[in-house]
Structure formats: C-alpha cells, structure tokens
Amino acid sequence: MDTPASYPILATRIGKKPLVYLDNAATTQKPARVVECEREFYEKLNSNIHRGAHYLSRLATEEHEKARATVASFLHAASEKEIVFTAGTTAGINLVAQVLALSPLISAGDEILVTTDAHHSNIVPWQMLCQRTGAVLRPIPLTESLEFDMPAYLSMLGNRTRIVAVPYISNALGVINPVPQIIEAAKRNNASTLVLVDGAQSTAHMPVDVQTLGCDFYVFSGHKVYGPTGTGILWGKEELLAQLPPWQGGGEMIKEVSFTGTTYNDLPFKYEAGTPNICGNIVLAEALRYVQEQGLAAIDAHEQMLTHRMFDGLTALGGINILGPKEGRGALLSVVIPGVHHYDLGTLLDQMGIAVRTGHHCCQPLMQYLGITGTTRYSFALYNTADEVDQALACTERALNMLR
C-alpha cells in the first residue's frame, strides 16, 4: 500500500502538529504522480480536442479518448460509448434527471424511490423531475440499525415504480447498501424500471462491474478517487443513452446544424456539449490507473482495518453513539455524542491537527429522520495509517474531556 510520503500535501503541519487527514469522504488528497500529470498536460499537450488538425490537438485528442477507455475498463463497461465525462456525481445525476424529464419514460403518477440516507444530489434533481412531470418521490426507510430496509423497499415496488436511485455507500452513515439485491428486485418487479447507483463513496474503495450489477446508470466524482475536482463520470447503458434526448446544446454534441434543424452526434459526444475538462479527464484516468495499481481488494482490506480500529477505539471511550453497525460499512464513521456539539468537537480536533468533517453532510432529510442536527465524521483512504487512527482517538478523548 502506498504511503503518505507519496502525497505532498500530507506533509502539512497544523501549527506544530502533523496533519492527520480524515476527511476523505469529502475529497481525497492526490498522489504526486497525479499532480505531475496535470502539470505535464499544460506543459506538453494543452490544446482543444476533436476539431483541430494540428499536432497538439491530435495529441490531446488521443490522450483524452485514451482516458475514456481507461474509465470504461475501470468500470467494466461494455463500450467506451457508455462513458460520459461530467463535472462530478452531482452533474451526472442532474444530467440523467433532466433528460428523463424531457423523455416520454416518466409521466404523472409515476414513482421514484430514493433512500432516506441519500445525499442531496440524489434527492433534489429527482424532486425537480417530479415538479416537471407530476411524478412522485418516495423515500425508502431505514431499519432500527440504520441499514437499508429491504422488506419495506419490496413492499414499495409497484407498477408505477419508474426509477430507483441509491448510494452504494452512505456518505453520512458509511453503511454499504445491498445494491445488487436492490437492482435485482427492481428489475424483477418491472424490467423497465431504471436504477441509478450513486458511486461517489464506493468507487475509490471497492471494485465496480456495472455489467454484473445490472444497473442502468452509475455515477461518481473524480475528486473522491484521488483525481481532480470538477471531474466525474456518468456511465449509462448504450441503448438507453442512445434513446434519451440530449441535455445541453452546443459544439461537439452535433453532427449538422442549420436554422431549420439540428442532427445530434453519436454517443458519448451527444452528452458532452462544448469544450470538456480535457486536462481534468486525462488526470482522472491517471488517478484510476493509480488505484488499479494499488489494488482495490488491498485498499479495501487496509481501510477496513483502519475503520474497525477506529470503531473499537471510539467504543472504548464510552458515551459515543456510532451511527450504523460495525460490519457492512465503508471506510467512514459518523458519531453523535450527547452533550457535545459536532462543530465544537471538529474545531478542537482541527487545533490538534486532526481533519474531520462536521455537519449534516448534505443529508438533511436523514438528520431530520434521526432527530439530530449533524455528526462528526471520520473517513479513511489508502494513505491513512494505524498510527493516525491512534492519534485521532487520543485527540478525540482529549477533546471530549474538555467539552464534557
């Protein structure tokens, strides 16, 4: 497993304290080779793509489309045509929701099922679709242990279910949702039901094979998988993307334009209007190659060790409510501590060099469901160490002694 030394920013010190970065669910840090890839693009390749006949344009185009191939391989997509570059998970979900609103596939009275633990970006776009079409948004409840309630979900599936949108891993709870079973049940109920998987919290931590999953759409953000901000991927089944209307109009997404009409481009360019984030997409591919070289199985095993170590340590401190069970979770823990505000704990930890995330984590409906205002979240990446977990536990104990 790669070490923190490969990440320049992790040499940062907070006052006299070394940085312990445990905010990876918000964004991961970037290894030196990923940072170098961006510098090299602007020094050696910078040019617009696809439409240029000159040398730099040809080089940039070739590298950009190699990046698309890398993403297709990473996700085990059936075709590179199924890979649409976006600005991130939020952009990908909005793209799907908006083109579905323009299509005949959704009509008044249809139902869209989302999880109670969904991120706002997997709620609000569907609410907007409902406002435009008359469809109805229905939240799938959680069990008492804050896991996906499969019996409740099965009872909600019906002849008006058109879309099921679920996070593979909850960004606020860390719970791994039973996505294969969720997809299978949706398709068994109605083969035409569309299933979107939010992979923002899963893609950097576990292998993904979209063909095996059987979903219709899969989205993720580059900045959560050791890549740059402002990058992301929408994967969609080729036959479905070909059927749906385009999203934005402009250059690249067209074949022919006249004042009497326009002919749209083939996939995936139909959904990539204008100049893309050429550099960002190439750098994202480098980040994915880095993850593949590290090995997702090895990454998962390392992060599970860290997560269990933190879980046991927090439990030993006493008086800390860790949301969700110990097993069946990704590389993050959210905690609620009676009598201690999450922001106060996060502030004290920051002063000790421990970077965590506090607040509602863009999951206000979940916080309302739980009757709380927010949590303190510790989240891990491949570069974190057992020593850092121990430092975070010691600093948490010290902070709690000051706050209680």
Amino acid in the structure at residue 380: F
C-alpha closest to that of 378 among 320, 328, 318:
320
Dihedral sign for Cα atoms in the order 273, 275, 278, 280: negative
362 is catalytic: yes
CA distances to 26, 74, 321 from 145, rounded to whole Å, are: 24, 33, 12
Give Cα 165 distance to the centre of its chain. 13
In 215-341, alpha helices (H)? 238-243, 278-294, 296-317
Q: Which of 130, 215, 279, 362 is catalytic?
A: 362
Q: What is the DSSP string of 85-114?
A: EESSHHHHHHHHHHHHHTSTT--TT-EEEE
Tokens of 381: 């990446």
Please state, in angstroms and rounded to a whole number, the distance separating the CA atoms of residues 190 and 250.
36
- Cα distance between the two ends of the chain: 38
Tokens of 156: 């909600």
- Name, in order, each residue with C-beta under 8 angstroms of 370's C-beta and a sequence gap of 6 or more: 323
Residue at token pair 């299933």: 195
Task: State the catalytic residues.
Answer: 362
